[in-house]
Amino acid sequence: MPYFDAASAAPLHPVARQALLASLDEGWADPARLYREGRRARLLLDAAREAAADAVGCRPDELVFTPSGTRALHDGIAGALAGRRRVGRHMAVSAVEHSAVLQSAAALEAAGGSFTEVPVDRTGRVAPGAYAAALRPDTALAALQSANHEVGTEQPVAEVAEECRAAGVPLLVDAAQSLGWGRVEGGWSLLTASAHKWGGPSGVGLLAVRKGVRFAAQGPADERESGRAPGFPDLPAIVAAAASLRAVRAEAAAEGARLRALVDRVRARVPELVRDVEVVGDPRRRLPHLVTFSCLYVDGESLLHALDRAGFSVSSGSSCTSSTLTPSHVLRAMGVLSEGNVRVSLPVGTAEEDVERFLEVLPGVVASVREQLGAPTETAAPAGEAAELVVDALGKRCPIPVIELAKAFPGVPVGGLVTVLSDDEAARLDVPAWCEMRGQEYVGEHSVEGGVAYTVRRLA
């Protein structure tokens, strides 16, 4: 039963399991205590810190362990912002950061600060120049992920770090998705990561703060982890996290190349096997193990369930699979199709035949979901006579508004207009994406009672 959602959580690496078991016996005591069990725990903690710092590329005293990647981001951002509060209360972030970064920025705004979201191109990548333009005299902190968690696109961290250095702004890099594959290059100031993304146990994040970076830990004072991560450290998990990071790094070059080839195959074959698919993310500057595509006229939740029944565990950024009823903010920022979205992220050791089997299964699964939804078929209907048609899809959820649009479209001649009325957030993204995929013109949107009208001109 292939599990293809490593970007969410990877199964425990055998080295992590072994280290965890060993340190359950050796590392349960308080490393702050003076007696032998405490000293033994301290040695394990020190060794784990050294191993993790070596993998990150920082000094051991620059790195602390946190209870998760999210907490590393929350606490790291809060500490860095407070440390430079005199400079100002503005933060720069890319539009495709992890929600923990964006929610930290929102919390800053709620507390009276402000933030700028740097846009990305259609591959999900920020331009260093655009990032530089977001830096202001009152910018306390900039944040940029090393690679995107939903589409795999690598960000130009070294170039942005150079822009930040020139502007005197510390750069925090969220390396959650990439740290298992290698160090983050460039002059970053703070770095965070999450162990369960590289096959370490859950319950461990990393926060590195370069010497000289102003940092004022927030929240009640606590002596643990240099005062930067309160609470008793989860030592067995920390030991397992450090050991598995070292292990995956040792395999990273070879395994990365192997998975990259499998992902290349998925990227190439999916559009050949399934019509009306958009493969998203940068085709070259990307994580080795991750590929994302979106399928027109498909409901993401139905697709996930059907793939699950077929034995494949994947993730989706479609609105109908989230609790918020909005498509993933990453897909929105990229301006790509969100419906029928599938993220495939291969764990270390994924077998080639599992990927081949996925490619065999996918076309039938997509076709059956489309059939259930009454998606339009490829046979072109003769052009209709109405100069303008209005499709009322109010109250209907993704992907129905786009299906209704596609079905109505043959009813107008070339040059004619079709307007879709929809109150589904996904339509804002998916109607223009449909135009792009179909070579039609997206005219624009305007408010109507109960929703939004999206207008498309037939070009072909």
Q: Which two tokens stand for residue 244?
A: 């598995």
Rounded least distance, CB 299 to a second copy, Å: 13
Catalog residues that contact a second copy under the rule CB under 8 A. Answer: 1, 3, 5, 8-12, 17, 20-21, 24-25, 28-30, 33-38, 67-71, 74, 78, 99-100, 103-104, 106-107, 194, 196, 201-203, 205, 219-224, 230-237, 301, 304-305, 307-308, 312-315, 321, 323
Rounded least distance, CB 304 to a second copy, Å: 5
What is the length of the chain?
Answer: 460
Q: How far is CA 209 from CA 58, 69, 100, in A?
A: 9, 14, 18
Rounded least distance, CB 30 to a second copy, Å: 5
* 320 a catalytic residue: yes
**Distance, CA of 436 to CA of 134 (rounded, Å):** 29
Q: How far is CA 287 from CA 147, 153, 179, 290, 345, in A?
A: 7, 7, 11, 6, 9
Q: Residue 382: is the preceding peptide bond cis (ω within 30°)?
A: no
C-beta closer to a second copy: residue 42 or 125: 42
Rounded least distance, CB 203 to a second copy, Å: 3
* CA atoms 445, 448, 453, 457: torsion sign: negative
**Distance, CA of 269 to CA of 422 (rounded, Å):** 33
The one catalytic residue among 58, 164, 295, 320: 320
Q: Which residue carries 């998990």 as its tokens?
A: 237
C-beta closer to a second copy: residue 69 or 152: 69
> Residue 88 class from Cβ within 10 Å (0-12 exposed, 13-18 middle, 19+ buried)?
middle
C-beta closer to a second copy: residue 230 or 410: 230
Rounded least distance, CB 231 to a second copy, Å: 3
C-beta closer to a second copy: residue 70 or 422: 70
Q: Which two tokens stand for residue 269?
A: 């074959």
**Distance, CA of 274 to CA of 327 (rounded, Å):** 22
* Cβ contacts of 448 within 8 Å, gap of 6 or more: 421
Q: Which two tokens stand for residue 391?
A: 């499709």
Residue 312's nearest CA partner among 321, 322, 324, 303 is 303
C-beta closer to a second copy: residue 5 or 276: 5
Distance of CA 151 to the CA centre of its chain: 6
Rounded least distance, CB 192 to a second copy, Å: 12
Backbone φ and ψ of 110, nearest 5°: -65, -25
Rounded least distance, CB 397 to a second copy, Å: 16
* Cβ contacts of 458 within 8 Å, gap of 6 or more: 383, 409, 412, 413, 414, 415, 416, 417, 418, 440, 441
C-beta closer to a second copy: residue 15 or 433: 15
Looking only at the bridges linking them, the beta strands covering 388-392 and 417-422 are parallel
Compute the half-sphere exposure of residue 393: CA atoms within 13 Å on the CB side of its CA: 31
C-beta closer to a second copy: residue 147 or 306: 306
* CA atoms 80, 82, 84, 90: torsion sign: positive
C-beta closer to a second copy: residue 314 or 402: 314
Rounded least distance, CB 408 to a second copy, Å: 32
C-beta closer to a second copy: residue 223 or 449: 223
Residue 402's nearest CA partner among 381, 428, 380 is 428
Q: Which two tokens stand for residue 263?
A: 């992902």
Rounded least distance, CB 46 to a second copy, Å: 17
Q: Which residues are catalytic?
A: 320
